[in-house]
Structure 1
Amino acid sequence: MTMQRNRLKRRRGYVYRLAIAQAGVTLAGMLWGFIADGGDGVLSALKGALVAIIPQAMFVLRAGILNPRLGALQGAKRLLRAEMGKFGLTVALFTLLFVAAPPSNPAFFFSAYVAVVLTHWLGPWLLRRQRSTYRGN
């Protein structure tokens, strides 16, 4: 029982640290957009980051990553469904954004999108916790 709690605690910690890292990348992109292009750059970078963050948040919720009660087969099915939903939501957000409110500076939009997605891909390396080498006697 405590092993499940520890695993859940590690998963939650990873998800929270990754969200904080992605928020930091988003803020850095918005600052870069402000310095280079003013308000239009900030808004474009924010839109790009949100197109990356919203589907990922939906994935975490639907996949049951934070649910310790899922069995292996049930978890695998939920992961597949969540990934398909994430892909569909990403396509829908891109379409909706470019039809309804196109970014004024596509360079900042795509830069922020790619930076946030890469933060997710590099998360295990960027957010790795220090491991203790002490094993006890």
Structure 2
Amino acid sequence: MQRLETLRRQAYVIRLAIAQLLVALVGTLLALVVADSGSATSVTLGALVAFLPQVFFVQRMAVFKQRVPASQSALRLFRAEAGKFGLTVALFAVVFITVPPSNPAFFFSAYIAVVLMHWLAPWLMPRKLRN
């Protein structure tokens, strides 16, 4: 039973990451066609600012490992979420200081689109793993 739960978590995380990267790729290509390369760069940066903290969170939560006791799990969750928040703030600061987006609307749209993929992720799960 525990192995099945681990497989469910792994499938969810992998499909979510793929969906987030696809959204970033489609957004970048769309910005390249509609606007210019500067806007495409803004989309890419916005997607990275959203995606990299998510990768950090998954790694800190040890999603791909077996379950741990609830007390350790809660502590991991708080630490991972605090680290994710700190990394997000740091990435925003780095992006706006070193490489200011040429089009902030594209930057924030990509950021929001990648972050909101969590809402669509349950639809990405195969039926046999959802139940």
| Shared fold (TM-score, shorter chain, > 0.5) | yes
**Residue 117 of structure 2 corresponds to residue 119 of structure 1:** yes
TM-score, normalization: structure 2?
A: 0.92
Question: Contact 2:24–2:47 (CA<8 Å) still a contact in 1?
Answer: yes
In the alignment, which residue of structure 1 is the partner of 2:82? 84
Cα deviation digits, residues 1-39 of structure 1 (max 9, x gap): xx1211111111111111111111001110111112121
Cα deviation digits, residues 57-102 of structure 1 (max 9, x gap): 0000001222214111101100011001000100010011101111
Distance in 1 (CA, whole Å) between partners of 2:114 and 2:72 is 29
* Count of aligned pairs: 129
| Runs of at least 4 residues off by over 3 Å | none
Flag the structure with higher helix content: 2
Q: Which has the higher contact order (CA 8 A, sep 6+)?
A: 2
Distance in 2 (CA, whole Å) between partners of 1:127 and 1:112 is 20
Question: Contact 2:11–2:125 (CA<8 Å) still a contact in 1?
Answer: no
Q: Is the partner of 1:122 in helix, strand or coil?
A: helix
Distance in 1 (CA, whole Å) between partners of 2:11 and 2:81 is 21
Question: Contact 1:64–1:75 (CA<8 Å) still a contact in 2?
Answer: no
Distance in 2 (CA, whole Å) between partners of 1:85 and 1:20 is 22
User: Equivalent pairs: percent with the same residue?
Assistant: 53
In the alignment, which residue of structure 1 is the partner of 2:102? 104
Q: Could you tell me how far 1:120 is from its partner in structure 2?
A: 2.0
Question: Contact 1:64–1:70 (CA<8 Å) still a contact in 2?
Answer: no
Q: Is the partner of 2:116 in helix, strand or coil?
A: helix
Segments of 5+ residues of structure 2 without an aligned counterpart are none
TM-score, normalization: structure 1?
A: 0.88
Select 2:11's aligned residue among 13, 30, 44. 13
Matches within 5 A, 1:61-80: 61-80=59-78
Q: Could you tell me how far 1:122 is from its partner in structure 2?
A: 3.0
Segments of 5+ residues of structure 1 without an aligned counterpart are 133-137
